[in-house]
Amino acid sequence: MKEKTKTTDKQGSDSEGSTVSGAEALLKCLIEEGVDTIFGYPGGAIMPVYNKLLDYSDRLRHILTRHEQGAAHAAQAYAMVTGRVGVCFATSGPGATNLVTGIANAFLDSVPVVFITAQVTSALIGTDAFQETDILGISMPVTKWNAQVKNAQDIPYAIARAFYIARSGRPGPVLIDISKDAQVENLSYSYRQCTYIRSYNPFIPLHMRDIESAAVMINHAEKPLILAGHGVILSGAAEELKALAEKGGIPVAATLLGLSAFPHKHRLFAGMLGMHGNYAPNVLTNQADLIIAIGMRFDDRVTGNLKKYAPDARIIHIEIDRAEINKNVRVDLEINNDAREVLSALVPMIRESSREKWIREFRILDRIEYEKVIKPETDPGEGEIRMGEVVKAVSDLTDGDAVIVTDVGQHQMAVARYYRFSEKSTLVTSGGMGTMGFGLPASLGAASGNPGNPVIAFIGDGGFQMTLQELGTIMQYHIPVKIILLNNSFLGMVRQWQEMFFNGRYASTEMANPDFMTLAGAYGIEAHRVTRREELRMAIGTMLAAEGPYLMEVTISREANILPMVEPGASVSDVTLTYR
Amino acid sequence: MQQEYTISLFTEDHIGILSRITIILTRRQINIDSITASESAIKGLQMLTMVVTTTPDMVNKVARQIEKLVDVVKVFVHTSPEIICQEIALYKVTTRGLMAGSMIGDLVRKHHARILEVTPEYIVVEKSGDKEEITALLAVLEPCGVLQFVRSGRIAVTRQVKELDAYLKEMEEAGRGRTETLEIYN
């Protein structure tokens, strides 16, 4: 991950060698790593750190969420929009376990977050003491690395390692568990950033022969297709990707997390891949003669039935995590390296080509999808309001100049399909984990990163109620997020599956909802409910013009389905365009 | 096709590393047939030797996932022909039973076993060899009355030469000239 780090190369600091407490050392280390914002929640074991935090409030802003899960999601979103490492604090026991969903979410989506949890006094560890939990053991499968610190003297090196591991290679969450006595104890403070770990080397030498092979394969291909994933954004390869596509005349399809890696208005943008992706890239995956997968991992939601996936294509896999190569899909050429380094070397070897005939095939299928799915969804003209038309209206009115946050479910797919992204790192969503409740806390985290553009969160009525206590955080810090609550009084995606695959038996998916206007009012958040199509665009305009936080609820079609769909077990070329 | 593999891996001597490795195997529903852990020839590095039974495709996937762990230096996967391996076993046999036949001489000559301790009640016999040889000796001793039997996990060396050293060197170079002294964090 190419980090926009704020620290200079200067090692050490003015207080080199000074005696400080473990808690203070921790805060100094964070400042050395360029941290200025922390999301967290205090509690017994972490009190020494919070006590010291008060003295550092000019350099370290702490945002008190209403639940540790919220802090974890906020820290992740902050990392995703800023390109820096997110930081999250929680206390021992329940504080630590409440983070787990957030840690796992960051792990599956490769986002660098350093989680600091407090632990009971070292003498009590392992005795089932009050608020003691084995967070090291619990978080082991969902962290890139974790460690426990029981001596104050070990804090600086643990933090240095944590940041180095979190942001290098394939980024990911790291957890450091610090016992209460280590926070209180004094140490002689000095700090050096970590740049090398013997057993972990994220810098892989570039093998030019592989790059040359890739160039030959691309230059000889008639129907190449690029699959761009989150890795393109993480490695800072968006420009190189564009150069590759333009020089070779190669269409670019994106995974959910790769959506903002390539401008959607670009003529080579082929759309989203996978279950609810666009028609052309899914169908044409199975006609392509070459697939160039960059920074993605062939998730089952992307590939559909693996036995019928890309039968005619040779596959080049450019991926920094070697364990992802040949994990789900057998590839013909593996390039285990950083996407940007590989593409920088590859682009000069690519022969200029337009591949008009191949690109025309995308346009033909795009037309079919537009007539059958997109037009009725984004411009229905009559009937209840559809999710797609809300997203399209926001897309039109912001012209892509916004940071878009989503929760999980139908509305998430509507955003992925109908928002036209133009800048990288402008989509914050929960991909691998599919964590409902991610959206609201993520939106406040994204807005705290000062992205310059407005932060707009699309959230369904189900996911909103999983973490709605974070409205309190938004109120307290006056965080100017624009929340669009798409309310169909259903757990929409589960309802859709019940309709399609469970004979329409709606088991526990219908929701009786509160009056969200009154709720927003209780938190002092400006709010408006839209029930009629005619007022939609004007209401969005009012929302965007509002200075502070704003909640816009849209009453949408209760039983609409997200289409097209690659049904479970189907091949990507076997797309359901219409249903009912 | 399921097959027996010996996974040898070198790790930093850090707390919890075995747990991290078994998590990966557990997720893939792979049972560890045997395991040994010891200090390796390189200072500060632990060596783990595991025997698992699985498919070639799966063993490569888990090997890469294990190697991805921050504290794991290198993972090697070998099939039986590629390695020389041994296990060690101890047999505690009743003295009366063992003395009854002309077993003792055979033990040393035929089975290359050693006698570790002799008491009026029992005799402790030690044998190293492959799994089959150790099982075969157990069958021979069974009629004499085996009071206790334990066997170690497998240890193995490869038929290749100096692979880890070469790898470590390559890794140091890839470290892009970073010459910081190594600190071990526990």
Q: How far is A204 from chain B (nearest CA, A)?
A: 6
Domain tally, chain A = 3
Whether the pLDDT of residue A279 is over 60: the answer is yes
Q: What mean pLDDT, rounded, does chain A reach?
A: 96
Residues A535 and A411 in one domain: yes
Q: Are A250 and A292 in contact (CB under 8 A)?
A: yes
Query: In angstroms, rounded to a whole number, what is the distance separating the alpha carbons of residues A98 and A67?
Result: 8
ipTM, interface predicted TM-score of the complex: 0.91
Position B44 scores a pLDDT of 84
* pLDDT tens profile A168-202: 999 999 999 999 999 999 999 999 999 999 899 89
Position B173 scores a pLDDT of 64
The reply to whether A180 belongs to the active site is yes
* pLDDT tens profile A43-97: 999 999 999 999 999 999 999 999 999 999 999 999 999 999 999 999 999 999 9
Position A6 scores a pLDDT of 44
* pLDDT tens profile A506-547: 999 999 999 999 999 999 999 999 999 999 999 999 999 999
* pLDDT tens profile A206-225: 999 999 999 999 999 999 99
Residues A271 and A413 in one domain: no
Whether the pLDDT of residue B182 is over 50: the answer is no
* pLDDT tens profile A551-560: 999 999 999 9
| In a domain? residue A7 | no
When CB atoms are compared, the residue of B19, B68, B176 closest to A137 is: B19
pLDDT over 70, % of chain A: 97
Task: Give the DSSP H/E element, type plus range, for residue B54.
Answer: strand B45-54
Interface of B with A in 149-178 (CB under 8 A): 171, 173-176, 178
Test mutation, A110, A163, A198, A336, chain B, max B CBs within 10 A? A198
Whether the pLDDT of residue B165 is over 90: the answer is no
Joined together, the tokens standing for residue A302 give 């992307």
The separation between CA B98 and the C-alpha centre of its own chain, rounded to angstroms, equals 30
Q: Which of A361, A389, A408 is the last residue of a domain?
A: A361
When CB atoms are compared, the residue of B19, B73, B176 closest to A199 is: B73
Contact criterion met (CB < 8 Å) for B185 and A205: no
Half-sphere exposure (CA, 13 Å, Cβ side) for A325? 21
Q: What are phi and psi of B70, to 5 degrees?
A: -55, -40
Whether the pLDDT of residue A333 is over 80: the answer is yes
CATH of the domain at A282: 3.40.50.1220
Residues A162 and A248 in one domain: no
**Token pair 């200072």 in the structure block, residue:** B43
Position B102 scores a pLDDT of 72
Position A27 scores a pLDDT of 98
Residues A182 and A215 in one domain: no
Q: Can you name the residues that pair with A406 across neighbouring β-strands?
A: A458
Position A201 scores a pLDDT of 87
Position B163 scores a pLDDT of 65
Residues A157 and A217 in one domain: no
Contact criterion met (CB < 8 Å) for A145 and B70: yes
Residues A425 and A287 in one domain: no
Contact criterion met (CB < 8 Å) for A141 and B71: no
Position B171 scores a pLDDT of 65
* pLDDT tens profile B44-78: 889 999 999 999 999 999 999 999 999 999 999 99
Q: Calculate mean pLDDT across residues A140-151.
A: 98
Position A11 scores a pLDDT of 46
Residues A161 and A235 in one domain: no
**Token pair 């604090």 in the structure block, residue:** A89
pLDDT over 90, % of chain A: 96
What range does the domain containing A41 cover? Answer: 19-188
Flag the least confident range among A376-390, B141-155, B172-186. Answer: B172-186
Residues A157 and A224 in one domain: no
| In a domain? residue A366 | no
Residues A38 and A64 in one domain: yes
| In a domain? residue A573 | no
Position A16 scores a pLDDT of 72
The three-state (H, E, C) secondary structure of A503-548, written as one string: CCCCCCCECCCCCHHHHHHHCCCEEEEECCHHHHHHHHHHHHHCCC
What residues in B contact A145, CB-CB < 8 Å?
70-71
The reply to whether A183 belongs to the active site is no
* pTM for the whole structure: 0.94
CATH of the domain at A521: 3.40.50.970
Whether the pLDDT of residue A2 is over 60: the answer is no
pLDDT band at A25 (very low <50, low <70, confident <90, very high): very high
Residues A550 and A403 in one domain: yes
Whether the pLDDT of residue B185 is over 50: the answer is no
Whether the pLDDT of residue B186 is over 60: the answer is no
Residues A82 and A182 in one domain: yes
Position A450 scores a pLDDT of 82
Q: Which of A334, A361, A388 is the last residue of a domain?
A: A361
When CB atoms are compared, the residue of B20, B64, B73 closest to A323 is: B64
What per-residue string of b and e applies to A540-554 under the rule 16 or more CB within 10 Å gives b?
A: beebbebeebbbbbb
Residues A357 and A384 in one domain: no
| Residue-range domains of chain B with CATH | 3-81+161-174 (3.30.70.260), 84-151 (3.30.70.1150)
| In a domain? residue A576 | no
